Amino acid sequence: MSSDAPYRAATPRSYLMCPPEYFEVSYAINPWMRPDSPVDADLAMRQWSALRATHESLGHTVATIKPVPGLPDMVFAANGATVVDGIVLGVRFRYPERAAEAAAYLSWFRSHGYPAVHEARHVNEGEGDILVAGDTLLAGYGFRSDVEAADELAEAFGRRVISLRLADPRFYHLDTALCVLDATTAMYYPPAFDDAGRAALASVFDELIEAKDEDAEVLGLNAVSDGRHVVLARQATGLARALAGRGFEPVPVDMSELLKAGGGAKCCTLELREKTTP
């Protein structure tokens, strides 16, 4: 970290994760998935367990949802819902292979006492395409989620929503191309967005860290930040150096087996944002 880098403060978070008990790549719904390529289920479980342990070692709370047989992508908990101020907006998946995950996650929230749990009317794939930046919601669309989901987000959460069209099919969810580090700082891959999207991001964030091709291509942006610590793919070494130079603390993890389905640390981590009292 450079001597003039700003101080970054960590905030304890609560997360929901799903063990990859039934993880496999049996279909292809994004450019990363190769059903003919073998998956090491034991390695996937070890990598997931290490990610959970990493979150907990940083002072965060991790709850788990029971995986459902026949839903191999349920491990990607970020796609299960969006939770802001204790309000839950469920999801509606683009592809039928993942459709049943929506009900499983809604059931978890209802059984755990969340008072406001809303079913989605439009296609939205949860925190895969919906990121929180301070009081603003960023909503990706173009490959998975519908642009119309923005109105539903504003209605559910009462916050400003900025829609961002994704332009590169490799980065099919917003959380593969953009990571919110804190309310004023983010890292992103510029070619994943159109001109309007890049301009919108520049208007939201005071500081934008650009990922190089080699870091974006290992899903280095599919990362989890608590405001100081940034849990990201260990292969994204350039991003790690850039983060450290700006006062963040990179925390490398190996998610290579989950990457075979197009997922990383963020995909496996859904943040449970409870209502804060003033």
Residue of 173, 179, 229, 268 marked active site: 173
Both tokens of 86, joined, read 């204790």
Interatomic CA distance for residues 118 and 104, integer angstroms: 14
> 42 exposed, middle or buried (CB, 10 Å; 0-12, 13-18, 19+)?
exposed
Would you list the DSSP string of 30-66? STT--TTS---HHHHHHHHHHHHHHHHHTT-EEEE--
Catalytic residue among 18, 60, 229, 267: 267
Q: Is 267 known to be catalytic?
A: yes
Place of tokens 């991003």: 239
The radius of gyration computed from the CA coordinates of the chain, to the nearest angstrom, equals 17
Q: For this structure, is 179 an active site residue?
A: no
Tokens of 117: 């749990």
Residues 6+ away with beta carbon under 8 Å from 57: none
Report the catalytic residues.
Answer: 173, 267
